[in-house]
Structures are given as structure tokens and as C-alpha cells.
């Protein structure tokens, strides 16, 4: 079966750093995606990790440990516009993404 877990909600302060964790157990695994989704809008691609380690892209970084079935998304210098849901999704090689339920991040002033 496919199981992807991430916290339901998180709150952080503008200018701070926040880490959103994701654990996965999937039958077949090729890589881990992070998407951002504002309410009522489409998921927007943020990052894709295939190999273990940290990938940095501006204010956003994503980490993957395949042996632990674990990933995190790190957001630095938080801005109000970063308030959104962050979706962890596993690519199992079947041309389908399996999404977690998403973490709703609220950035406060």
C-alpha cells in the first residue's frame, strides 16, 4: 500500500524558518516531490528529490533520506505569501503521484 504522512497544520512567524516533515511508505519509490497549493488553486511544483541529501533552491530547500523514508521541506525568511498548503508526493514510477494530505502553513506577522 501507499502511506504518506505529514503534519496537518503548522504556524510560524514572518521572517522565521519552518521545517515541514514527511514520511512515506510506498510500494516502489523513485523520488519525492513537494508542491505548494494556495486555497482553491492548483498545486505548484517546488522541488523533486531523487537522491539522498539536501537540494537548495532560493528560500526553499528539500531533503530526502531514502533509507529512512523521510523528507522535509525547509522554508527560510518566511513571508506572508508563503501561507499555503504544502503537499508531499511520492513518485512510484507508475507515472502517478501519490500525495499526502498536505500541511497547512499559517505565517503570522
Partner 1 sequence: EPEVTQTPSHQVTQMGQEVILRCVPISNHLYFYWYRQILGQKVEFLVSFYNNEISEKSEIFDDQFSVERPDGSNFTLKIRSTKLEDSAMYFCASSPRDNQETQYFGPGTRLLVL
Residues contributing to the site for partner 1 (CB under 8 A) = 30-31, 33, 35, 40-45, 48, 87, 89, 91, 94-102
The Cα 100–Cα 109 span in angstroms is 28
Q: CB-wise, 45 or 108, nearer to partner 1? A: 45
DSSP H/E element including 89: strand 84-91
Least separation in angstroms between CB 99 and partner 1: 4
Give 17 or 50: the residue with its C-beta nearer to partner 1. 50
Q: How far is the CB of 7 from partner 1 (least distance, A)?
A: 14
Residues in Cβ contact with 58 at an 8 Å cutoff, skipping those fewer than 6 apart:
none
CB of 45 to partner 1, least distance (A): 6
CB of 17 to partner 1, least distance (A): 26
d(CA 94, CA 73): 24
Neighbours of 23 (CB within 10 A): 16
**Choice between 41 and 77, CB closer to partner 1:** 41
Half-sphere exposure in the Cβ direction for 14 (13 Å, CA):
5
Which residue's CB is nearer to partner 1, number 47 or number 61?
Answer: 47
Grid cell at residue 79: 513571508
Amino acid at each position: 500500500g501507499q502511506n504518506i504522512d505529514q503534519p496537518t497544520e503548522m504556524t510560524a512567524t514572518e521572517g522565521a524558518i519552518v521545517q515541514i516533515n514527511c514520511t512515506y511508505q510506498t510500494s516502489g519509490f523513485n523520488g519525492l516531490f513537494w508542491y505548494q497549493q494556495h486555497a482553491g488553486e492548483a498545486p505548484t511544483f517546488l522541488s523533486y528529490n531523487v537522491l539522498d541529501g539536501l537540494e537548495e533552491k532560493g528560500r526553499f530547500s528539500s531533503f530526502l533520506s531514502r533509507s529512512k523514508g523521510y523528507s522535509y521541506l525547509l522554508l527560510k525568511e518566511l513571508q506572508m505569501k508563503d501561507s499555503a498548503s504544502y503537499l508531499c508526493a511520492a513518485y512510484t514510477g507508475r507515472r502517478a503521484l501519490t500525495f499526502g494530505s498536505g500541511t497547512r502553513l499559517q505565517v503570522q506577522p
